Amino acid sequence: MGELIRFDHVSYTYPGADDPAVDDVSLSINEGEIVLITGPSGAGKTTLCSMLNRIVPESYGGDISGKIFIEGADISQYTIGQMAFISGLLFQDPSGQLTSATVGDEIAFGPENKGLPVDKINSLVDEYIGYVNMQKFIKRPPQALSGGQQQSIVYASVLAMEPEIYILDEPTSNLDPLGSDLVFRLMKKVATDKKKTAIIVEHKLEKIIDMVDRIIIMDKGKIAFNGTPKDVLSHYKELSQIGVEVPQIDQVINRINEEKGYKLPAPITLSEGVNELKSILPEKLPVDAMQAVGRTFKEPRKFDKPIIEVKDLHFYYNPEVEILHGINMDIYDGEFLSIVGQNGSGKTTIVKTFNGLHKPTGGSVIVKGVDTKNATVAKLSRSVGYCFQNPDHQIFSSVVRDELTYGPKNVGMPQEEIDKIVDEVAKMIGIEDILDENPYNLSKGQRQQIAVAAILTMQPDVIVVDEPTTGQDPRQSHQMMDMVKKLNTDYGKTIVVITHDMSIAAEYSDRIITMHNGTIIAQGTPREVFKEEEMLNSSNLEPPQVTRLLKRAGITDPVAIDVDEAMQLLSTMDLKKEA
């Protein structure tokens, strides 16, 4: 494999920025390589990738220095349009890449612009819509699909261009766990079968680590690490300081190494981690000691006063496609509930019935004793606040303070009371110092905080947050979830979170509801739900990686749902000396 891509002392600074987004990067990528680029948000990952098809700097301006070569050619001589057929880029937000009236037209758009014959275009559409298993949606408008389904369509449209280089910027941010596996394995297959080069920006290391040839860690515009997965993952402490969270199996093995002085290698796959763990486990597990430790595990709080009652709920957008099939559930005052399920299972649809954005087509939704069929969205929004998955779909003011005052003004609240509530909420969320800023000049994490704050000024009892960690690095994800948890524990808000991140659901939830094809298939505490792996798999979900690690190593009771619990169980054992 010869060199395909070369960055030669490349730096780039966005207009008006003080510091470079990419800072003196020199890098080579070989033909046929699959390379993972990761690092904290703002590290320069997306900027680096956008340079490969000239979106940066052509669409932004700014200052660039150094040279980028593809197959020995200086790409500064090419236009964005020319580069699109060489470097295909899948954006992090799929909705910003959809332009056509139907899914089929969307996938055909690129090949049409290449001037290919109709027969060839149709063949490419059939091939790549099949790759992502979206054939049944071929005549549907892509804007009518779920976020995960949209991501699959955009992915197929990039594949159909058949460029030399595939650049995927967080291609699974909207996908369920097993859907993420499918996308990465598909990318591996396409890159291998068609001898393509793939560059993937991703925070979910456990999903892709075994499929890549190399990992590049970026931090503050520079390359911090560049090597094989095993080499890079061995720098566990340094990665944690940068803000990169290694897979849970590596966290466990690294902590064993630290505590026991072992030198077990960093596992790349779950099966490697299982084999390494089993090699040091005692022949007979200390069942009584493990049970005693299990009794000290944190148990979720119990609640018994419903604040939302859902009774035999049916919903459809048109009579031919029913989305929800007789849902029965209660949401309790003061609890922290996570709703999980595969893409298109009805999660977002059901929460939109809580504040009247969707009206039931059968059954009822009762919020604080009020039937949503008989209440306006404005009235229900005083009880249930809904934060969209993408804060940019919710924010429309040019000043943060105006965004926070909009809701209270709309319902006729006196100005003196509005000012008081805005100040209280800003302090609660920690955004007092940005009230006079333009939200579009702030980070996505800050915009999410603003979206939550705008909901809180309406003083709802229930806050629904749809996929709050999408596109966030691990550090930002925990900051966001800690903020939401604080609203729950310190201010008594009932929290409903839609998430695909099982480790997040495990860490923060009192209760989890699992959906599949518009029905509820399970509900219970995180420990109860994650114990049922086969049930979760039926909904394209899986327990946290550490739960699967211990189960496959023979430690099934009690169930550990995070790394700390796993280490507590292992601390009861007289581990063998390192093999």
Extract the tokens encoding 22. Answer: 């990419």
Size (the chain), residues: 579
Contacts of residue 46, defined as CB under 8 A and 6 or more positions apart, other chains included, come to 92, 169, 201
On the question of a cis peptide bond just before residue 360, with omega within 30 degrees of 0, the verdict is no
Q: β-pairing, 370-371 with 384-387?
A: unpaired
Query: Does the reported pTM lie above 0.85?
Result: yes
- According to DSSP, residue 22 is labeled E
Q: Are strands 511-516 and 165-169 parallel, antiparallel or unpaired?
A: unpaired
Instruction: Give the pLDDT mean for 527-541.
Output: 92
Residue 552 tokens, joined: 């496959």
Rounded to whole angstroms, how far apart are CA atoms 440 and 511?
35
In terms of phi and psi (left: phi > 0; alpha: psi -120 to 50; beta: otherwise), the region of 179 is: alpha
pLDDT in tens, 338-360: 999 988 889 999 999 999 999 99
The strand order across the sheet containing 336-341 reads 384-387, 462-466, 494-498, 336-341, 511-516, 519-524
Write down the residue that tokens 């009771």 correspond to: 557
pLDDT one-digit tens code per residue, 97-118:
888 999 999 999 999 998 999 9
Both tokens of residue 469?
A: 């960690």
The closest alpha carbon to 50, from 17, 92, 100, 18, belongs to: 92
Round the average pLDDT of the chain to a whole number and report it: 91
Cβ pair 509, 485 in contact under 8 A: no
Residue 228 to residues 26, 238, 494, Cα–Cα distance (Å): 17, 16, 44
Q: Could you give the domains of the chain?
A: 3-242 (3.40.50.300), 248-298+549-570 (no CATH), 306-545 (3.40.50.300)
The arithmetic mean of pLDDT across residues 83-88, rounded, is 90
pLDDT value of position 320 = 79
* pLDDT tens, residue by residue, 401-420: 999 999 899 888 899 999 99
User: Pairing state of beta strands 384-387 and 462-466?
Assistant: parallel
pLDDT band at 214 (very low <50, low <70, confident <90, very high): very high
The per-residue pLDDT for range 140-193, each reduced to its tens digit, is: 999 888 777 888 898 899 889 989 999 998 887 777 787 788 778 878 888 888
CA nearest to 422, candidates 379, 378, 453: 453
375 token code pair? 């209440």
